[in-house]
Each structure stands twice: as structure tokens, then as C-alpha cells.
Structure 1
Amino acid sequence: MSALADLKPQHFNWRMDGSVAVITLDRPERKNPLTFESYAELRDTFREMVYADDVDAVVFASNGGNFCSGGDVHDIIGPLLDRDMKGLLEFTRMTGDLVKAMIGCGKPIIAAVDGVCVGAGAIVAMASDIRFATSEAKTAFLFTRVGLAACDMGACAILPRIIGQGRANELLFTGRTMSAEEGERWGFFNRLIEADALEKEAVAYAQRLATGPNFGHMMTKTMLKQEWAMSIDEAIEAEAQAQAICMQTKDFRRAYDAFVAKQKPIFEGD
């Protein structure tokens, strides 16, 4: 295993609150756009998180009243116009790799969305496991607004699973903004929270998850990903195997012993 608590990234903010990692993008004056460098560093960080035994959950939070304004117009979109097909594919694969790394990191990710959450920012929120937002959250998958297809970074696969095919179709074809109230009603946001309490509540929620059976959380997240491509019979068998593995953990024994002693179990993730 490895440690990430002392990570000092160059292209985003990182802090630890207990065993919860809190990430924010660090350009609030421009509503926190992503750059080539921040994409790559976030991707690499989530990849490393698989092996980090000092991170049990992640909060991807807002900064300066906004979550993320997507790919930076000057730092990304402009330079892409000069790339050939090979260079363009290198970029689109890299951005998709960030989503793969988030889904595959083995840790629950909570997005705390305030203000602007558009383009790749909306994708980051989508790729998180739980999403909280303020009433001022404005979410848009605006790829068609810049002359592109809406099939970006897994949007056409993941968004319909969250909010339903018809609603996803509308947002993806039009690129229009989904209000916070719509997002909550449609199931994109799990709850709406006042702005001054958003990050605090998201971190508290992540900390509650972090006190749970973290090996079990990893297995849950793994199966949520793998079962997308399984039949029901395959999924039931895969879950039988996964649960049998979890029954070999010490946390399973701890839960039983605590129940017998009429105490609350203290999980240690092993």
C-alpha cells in the first residue's frame, strides 16, 4: 500500500480531513477550469488512490462559489485546433481516463457542487458516487454548444443510468442548463444544501462513510462498475463471490462481535 496524505499537487488543491481527501480546483477567478495539466494530475492521483491506505473517501468540492467551468477555452480548446487526429485522440483518451480513474479508485467520491458545473466539470460530478449541491448549482453538458458531440468522457453511458434516458437525451442534445431543483428531482443530486454548509456537510458525510467497512465499500464500488456489462444471472453470481470474499474480512467478525456485545462496531477496513 502507499500513502497520499502528504500529497502536494501542482494543479489543484488537496487537503486531508481525517481519512477524507478534499479536492478543489484552484482557479476560482475563472470559475475553476480544467487544463491539460490538471486533467493529467487528477487522473494520476485517482489511479494512485487504489493503493492508498490513508484515504478512505474523497470530497470533490467547489471553490469560490463554483465547481468547475470545464476545459479552459484558452489553455485547452485553442491549442486543440492545431492538433492532428493522433494528438486529438491522445487528449480525448486522457480526459476519459480521468473518469475511469475516478470510477476505479475504490473510494467513495462525494461531489459538492456550487455555482457553475459545466462541460468536463459536469462530467466530474457525474463520475462521483454521491452528489450534493446548492440551489445555485448550474449543471450543463454543453458539448454541442461548442460544435461537438455530447458523447464525451462516458456521458452517454453514465448520465442515462443516473437520470433516465429521456432526460439525459434532452440535456445532451441541447446542452441546456439543468437547475439544482431539476437535478435533485431527477436524481442527479442526492440533496440540496445551503452554500455555507455545503463542504462541511459533504466532508461529514464522507467521514461517516470512512468509519464504515472500507473493504466493503471498495467491493461495492467495484461491483457497481462491473455489473453494468453483466446479465442478471452473471451479476448475482459475481455478487455471491464478492460477498463471500467480504465475509473473510476482520470487519465482518468485528460487526458480529459488536452485535453480540450490543455495541457499535468499529471497522478498520481489513
Structure 2
Amino acid sequence: MKFNPNSFSPSHFLWDFADGVATITLNRPDKKNPLTFESYDELRSTFWCLDQSWDVKAVVITGAGGNFCSGGDVHEIIGPLTRMDERGLLKFTRMTGDLVKAMRACPQPIIAAVEGVCAGAGAIMAMASDLRLAAPDAKTAFLFTRVGLSGADMGACAILPRIIGHGRAAELLFTGRSFSAEEGHGWGFWNRITANVLGDAQDLALELAGGPNVAHAVTKKQLDAEWHVPIDEAIEQEAQAQALCMQTNDFRRAFEAFADKRKPEFKGD
């Protein structure tokens, strides 16, 4: 069944859809928006479903009440995990990893709009987004080591070094310490620091939604695919991908608009 963003009504977070932009709001502000088994699962399913909806052209993910996400709920996730057998634990860790896989696989650019606490799985969701905007008060921590776990969680050891470098990633994943918005911006983790983080994220999403959506999907796919291949193979992959984009009507209309000295209209076809 085709995913319909206009009628979608999730149980474990807020959903808003307008002008091609979907906004996901984690909505447990009294606890700084922690995740539960159910919200992990629903978020994972939602991002998988976005692959079936070209009506959604960009996604913003944020948190309610001045915080982004404090990670897994201590009482609803951490406690039960201490009582699970190996099979149950592996089922859980694969589900959480699937959330990151789904975020990376969905064709739409994802923008994280982060205020306040951004810890554990919250930091992972910000990391897994394509673009990250932070409020000046954002405090981010990959704090797995603080609860006796490794920093190897939900792809952190693969993705974080590619964003901020191996040495910085190693420090954060070994110590679990938090970093400020300014520190993260200096490292390249945050694209921008802004006092109007959600408004600016939605403006950026609208800008992307008005662009060549097929081409954006190709860019996102290749940003991930080219991690794994030599430069020569990456160049060949990009040659084939760009040749496909050159067959789109968006490309033809953009040329005609440029020739006529007017703004192009992208329709995602």
C-alpha cells in the first residue's frame, strides 16, 4: 500500500506534512523525549515507508519542549534490556540499527533540528541525518560508555569518523562526554548554529523540497555508496548516476528556464 503522508497518524511521535516537507517531532517533553521499544519501531517503519512517497520531498526531525532526545528511556528500555537473553538483545540492537539504515536509505534529505539534550540514540539520529542544525544550547553526547556499553552502536563507529574525523570520534565514543554546539560546529558535526533552529530547518527543507528531488535522491544515495569504493569506481558510479539525471524532465526544464532567464520549476520527474 502506498504511503500517504496526508493521512499518516503515528502513535509515538507527532507528524506534520505541508508543502512537501514532513516534520517528525519526538513528543515526550517531560522526560526530554526518550525513545521506547515502540517508538524505535515506528520511526524505523516510517523512514522505510518514505521510500514509497515522492510527495514527501524533505524531512525535518526535532523534539518537543526545548530538547531533542535523551536516548533510550531508562525505565522502559534500559531496565528491560538487563533482563533479556542474548537472542532478545540481538533482536533489539538490530532493530535500532535498522532505524539508521532506514534513515540513510530513504531518498529524502533529512534535517535534524536540535535543541537542548541530544544524547545516546538522539545523538545517533542527529548523526544519521543528512544535515544538522543546532540551537546554541544544544548539548550532544554519545554516552554509551557511561552505561557500560561500547561506542559501537547503531553505526556510530562507521559514520561519526566520516563527519568529524577519527580522533575526535574516538574521544567522544570512548569518554561519552558531551560537546557544545560551538565545539560541534567547529568540527563540522553541525552545519549551522541558530537561535531559530526549527524555523531555519523548515526553511531549508522547503528550499530542498523546491529543488530537483530525483537529483537530490541520487546525491544522497551516492554520498553513502561511495564510502565503500575506490575513487575510480566512485567516478564511474557518478557518471552513470548523472547520466540518468540528465534524462529527467527537471533537467530539460532547468535548461529552458536558464535560456529564458527565469527561475526553473522542479517537479521531481
> Could you say which TM-score interval applies, normalised by the shorter chain?
over 0.9
| 8 Å Cα contact 1:71/1:119 also seen in 2 | yes
Spell out the pairing of 1:247-266 with structure 2 (5 A cutoff): 247-266=246-265
The equivalent of 1:225 in structure 2 is: 224
The equivalent of 1:133 in structure 2 is: 134
SS in structure 2 at match of 1:61: strand
Spell out the pairing of 1:39-50 with structure 2 (5 A cutoff): 39-50=40-51
Give the whole-Å Cα distance in 2 for the aligned partners of 1:174 and 1:118.
13
| 8 Å Cα contact 1:25/1:32 also seen in 2 | yes
Could you give the per-residue CA deviations for residues 224-244 of structure 1, whole angstroms, max 9, x where no partner exists? 111111111110000000000
Give the whole-Å Cα distance in 1 for the aligned partners of 2:44 and 2:5.
14
SS in structure 1 at match of 2:47: helix
The equivalent of 1:189 in structure 2 is: 190
> Which letter does structure 2 place at the counterpart of 1:259?
F
Give the CA deviation at 1:2: 3.8
Give the whole-Å Cα distance in 1 for the aligned partners of 2:25 and 2:55.
19
SS in structure 1 at match of 2:52: coil
The equivalent of 2:57 in structure 1 is: 56
Name structure 1 gaps, 5 residues minimum: none
| 8 Å Cα contact 2:48/2:102 also seen in 1 | yes
Give the whole-Å Cα distance in 2 for the aligned partners of 1:192 and 1:63.
18
SS in structure 2 at match of 1:151: coil
Aligned residues: 268
Could you give the per-residue CA deviations for residues 71-101 of structure 1, whole angstroms, max 9, x where no partner exists? 0000001111111101000000000000000
| 8 Å Cα contact 1:2/1:53 also seen in 2 | no
The equivalent of 2:177 in structure 1 is: 176
Give the whole-Å Cα distance in 2 for the aligned partners of 1:50 and 1:133.
27
The equivalent of 2:212 in structure 1 is: 213
| 8 Å Cα contact 1:138/1:179 also seen in 2 | yes
Q: CA RMSD in A?
A: 0.7
Spell out the pairing of 1:78-97 with structure 2 (5 A cutoff): 78-97=79-98
Give the whole-Å Cα distance in 2 for the aligned partners of 1:141 and 1:112.
17
SS in structure 2 at match of 1:50: helix
Give the whole-Å Cα distance in 2 for the aligned partners of 1:27 and 1:3.
25
The equivalent of 1:26 in structure 2 is: 27
| 8 Å Cα contact 1:5/1:55 also seen in 2 | no
Name structure 2 gaps, 5 residues minimum: none
| 8 Å Cα contact 1:61/1:112 also seen in 2 | yes
Give the whole-Å Cα distance in 2 for the aligned partners of 1:34 and 1:119.
10
Give the whole-Å Cα distance in 1 for the aligned partners of 2:18 and 2:166.
37
SS in structure 1 at match of 2:63: coil
TM-score (norm 1): 0.98
Give the whole-Å Cα distance in 1 for the aligned partners of 2:39 and 2:148.
24
Give the CA deviation at 1:53: 1.8
Could you give the per-residue CA deviations for residues 98-152 of structure 1, whole angstroms, max 9, x where no partner exists? 0000000000000000000000000000000000001100000000000000000
| 8 Å Cα contact 1:145/1:175 also seen in 2 | yes
> Which letter does structure 2 place at the counterpart of 1:267?
F
SS in structure 1 at match of 2:253: helix
| 8 Å Cα contact 1:107/1:217 also seen in 2 | yes
Give the whole-Å Cα distance in 1 for the aligned partners of 2:18 and 2:204.
12
> Which letter does structure 2 place at the counterpart of 1:216?
A
TM-score (norm 2): 0.98
Give the whole-Å Cα distance in 2 for the aligned partners of 1:188 and 1:250.
35
| 8 Å Cα contact 1:144/1:175 also seen in 2 | yes
Give the whole-Å Cα distance in 2 for the aligned partners of 1:97 and 1:111.
18
The equivalent of 1:98 in structure 2 is: 99
Give the whole-Å Cα distance in 2 for the aligned partners of 1:152 and 1:82.
19
> Which letter does structure 1 place at the counterpart of 2:204?
Y
| 8 Å Cα contact 1:211/1:267 also seen in 2 | yes
